[in-house]
Amino acid sequence: MQTAFLCLLIAVPFLNEREISIVTGTLYAMSFGPIDLTDPLSGLQVIMLTLSATKPLIISMLIPIAFTFVFGRVYCSWLCPQNLFSEMGDILASRLHIRRMFSVSPTPRPRWAMLAVVLAGSMAVGFPLASLISAPGIISLQISTAVFDSTVGLESALIGIILAGEFFLLRRFWCNYVCSVGTTLSVFRCQKTLKVRFSEDDQRKCIHCGACSRACQFGLDPMREKIYPLCHNCGDCIAACEKSTAGRNPLKFTF
Amino acid sequence: MNKHFLRPPGSRDESHFQASCIRCNKCLVICPYRSIRTGTLFDGLTNMGTPIVEPRKTPCYLCMKCPPVCPSGALDTKLSDKKDVRMGTAVIEKKTCYAWQGTLCRSCYEICPLFDEAITMDHELRPVIHEKKCVGCGMCENVCPVDPSAIIVKPTGEK
């Protein structure tokens, strides 16, 4: 799924270059035919900076927001190319038995702080700072720039810095503690949002093997902890549980 | 880094543009003439990722395809009439312009899409710009035979 989406991100600029413009845009804003989608954080920044919001902008933000209310942050786990790169980096690191320099217990506080810094900073400088540090935005934009301008901007270096930091310093820190795009999305959550959990009956089926928390790249423990808003519904824990309990899966996605 | 760049049609005031451009690239992608390029880090942190038009390389041909695709309203999405575009205003450098120095030249006058309105010829066949009509597309800057161009578009917002 993630690879398929990355292929889409690569294919779109090539198609646009040949004037096939059914799908156009980057992960800041994309159009599928007549349907426009805008990244909620980018839209929020514009609204805050211009103190106005056009109807098309609001509608284009509402679709990803509604989607997130239903499915949770699956944009992060299934669509975002940075997540794909980071996950692959993490798998490589565990194969090579790399020990990171730091480790922290998962907490959402740095994310909220980062979001506040980005929003406040944007107001101070007068332009959307989030656009400069949105990893999925940068990746999709650079693909587009490479196709159209035949150059790649220096901001691509940020991706390298993120991956290196996650490899050597702190596991999955960008997605887990920094990324403001994901933090904005994590606001749109309700009782009925898709989540990973045990139901009452299934609790008894849990054999406390710990496969789920070992599988979680963010270091979350579905057996014990409150895993939201950090969890982005990637489903690795559920897949691990299915394997470990030979199909009895007490851990499930539920609404 | 206060240099102002020429923005795609539909843009007006640069501070509004800076605040509302989400650097999404959709205008660049839809432009059939490749007149728009993406700002790089060397253009300044505030301009990184934003659309820039360089008329000397490729001017805007006023096809008006970009304003409707802008998701955030940095380009006025309702703009459809070429005459209402206000990307900038052309300014003639009289010391280097051939016509103003005595030769006959009609390059800018002839290419201007608002023919005989934005640029007119005076009684001595020298081009004169009518700021209120000039949309700032840069076709004149593109064809000027002088190097560097004797007619330059000053982006809206640059004092």
| Mean of pLDDT values over A101-113 | 85
Q: Do A86 and A180 fall within a single domain? A: yes
Is the CB of B33 inside 8 Å of chain A's CB atoms? no
Residue A57: give the domain boundaries: 2-190
Residues A72 and A17 in one domain: yes
Residues A80 and A135 sit within 8 Å (Cβ to Cβ): yes
Together in a domain, A162 and A78: yes
Write out pLDDT tens, residues B35-81: 998 888 888 888 888 999 999 999 999 999 999 989 888 999 888 89
| Total domains in the fold of chain A | 2
Contacts of residue A153, Cβ cutoff 8 Å, sequence gap at least 6: A141, A142, A145, B38, B40, B41, B48, B49
| Same-domain status, A69 and A151 | yes
Delineate the domains of chain B, giving CATH numbers in brackets.
88-155 (3.30.70.20)
Looking at the structure, tell me whether residues A154 and A61 fall in a common domain: yes
Q: CB of B2 within 8 Å of any CB in chain A?
A: no
**Domain check: are A171 and A244 in the same one?**
no
Structure confidence by residue, pLDDT tens digits, A55-75:
888 988 999 999 888 888 888
pLDDT tens digits along A191-240: 888 888 876 677 777 888 888 888 888 888 887 777 888 888 888 888 88
Query: Does residue A247 share a domain with residue A154?
Result: no
B144/B111 Cα distance (integer angstroms): 10
Q: Which residues have a Cβ under 8 Å from the Cβ of B123 and sit 6 or more positions away?
A: none
Question: Is A21 close to B16, i.e. CB distance below 8 A?
Answer: no
Percent of chain B, pLDDT > 70?
A: 97
User: Among residues 34-63 of chain B, which lie with CB inside 8 Å of chain A?
Assistant: 34, 37-38, 40-42, 45-46, 48-49
Extract the tokens encoding A195: 């989540």
Contacting residues of A for B72, CB less than 8 Å apart? 29, 38, 42-43, 46, 54, 57
Rounded to whole angstroms, how far apart are CA atoms A46 and B72? Answer: 7
The pLDDT of residue B1: 40
Q: How far apart are CA B147 and CA B114, in angstroms?
A: 24
Q: Same domain, yes or no, for A143 and A215? A: no
pLDDT, chain A, mean: 85
Of A19, A28, A60, the CB nearest to B23: A28
Choosing from A160, A190, A220, the residue where a domain stops is A190
pLDDT in tens, A168-196: 888 888 888 889 998 998 888 888 888 88
Co-location of A21 and A124 in the same domain = yes
- Give the pLDDT band (50/70/90) at residue A244: confident
- Check whether A130 has a pLDDT greater than 50: yes
Instruction: Tell whether A250 and A147 lie within a shared domain.
Output: no
Using pLDDT thresholds of 50, 70 and 90, give the confidence band for residue B159. low
Q: In this structure, what token pair is assigned to residue B121?
A: 């010829």
Produce one character per residue of A136-170: b if its CB has 16 or more CB atoms within 10 Å, e if not: bbbbbbbbbbebbeeeebebbebbeebbebbbeeb
The reply to whether A180 and A227 lie within a common domain is no
- The answer for residues whose C-beta is within 8 angstroms of residue B59's C-beta and 6 or more apart is B35, B53, B137, B138, B139, B141, B142
Domain boundary at A190, A205, A230, which?
Answer: A190
A109 residue type, one letter: R
- CA–CA min distance B45, chain A (Å): 9
